[in-house]
Homo-oligomer: A and B are copies of this chain.
Amino acid sequence: MGLFSKDIKTMDDLFVHQLKDVYYAEKRILGALEDMVGKASSGELRQAFERHLVQTRNHVARVEQVFQQHGVEPETTKCPAIDGIIDEADDVSGEVEDKRVLDAALIAAAQAVEHYEIARYGTLVAWAKTLGRPDCASILQQTLDEEKATDEALTSLAELHVNATAR
């Protein structure tokens, strides 16, 4: 975007900008999840991250599909929000030695990522409907549902296992 021009003029521009933002975010999350799989010590947590890694590859493909349906070339735009969320996760996990405490920190970091995505996909679904694109809304809704389910699964993991053993 230009530094001195107002490049977002319409709701359509805003929608496409947000799509580029989540495209960047999903790609950064792919790398972060690979890292988290390697750091997790609970087998169940590692499996949860691995499952979400597979889902996330599909989320990238879905964003590309929405770009295509909307007649726009897939492109990323830098997303300081996800950069900050992932940098903070790296900072915190770098400070933790105990494996069980680290698992708790990893779950918290993953839930911050999930909630970022829930916010963004929720917005994208609403805007796609506003723009008269129920086809795009329906694809984005599938990812939104999966992000919510992942967040709930992480809450259950935290409550049932990791936090209890990390007292």
A contacts, CB < 8 Å to B: 1, 6-11, 13-14, 17-18, 21, 79-85, 87-88, 91-92, 94-98, 101, 104-105, 107-108, 111-112, 114-116, 118-120, 122-123, 126-127, 129-132, 155, 158-159, 163-164, 166-167
Contacts and interface: CB of A to CB of B under 8 A. Distances in A.
B80 A91 contact: yes
Q: Is the interface of A mostly helix, strand, loop or mixed?
A: helix
B116 A112 contact: yes
Contacts of A115: 115-116, 118-119
Contacts of A87: 80-81, 84
A164 B82 contact: no
Contacts of A167: 11, 130-132
A117 B21 CA distance: 20
Contact of A95 (B8, B80, B107, B132): B8
List the 6 closest pairs (A to B, CB-CB), nearest first.
Answer: A84-B84, A115-B119, A115-B115, A130-B163, A80-B84, A6-B97
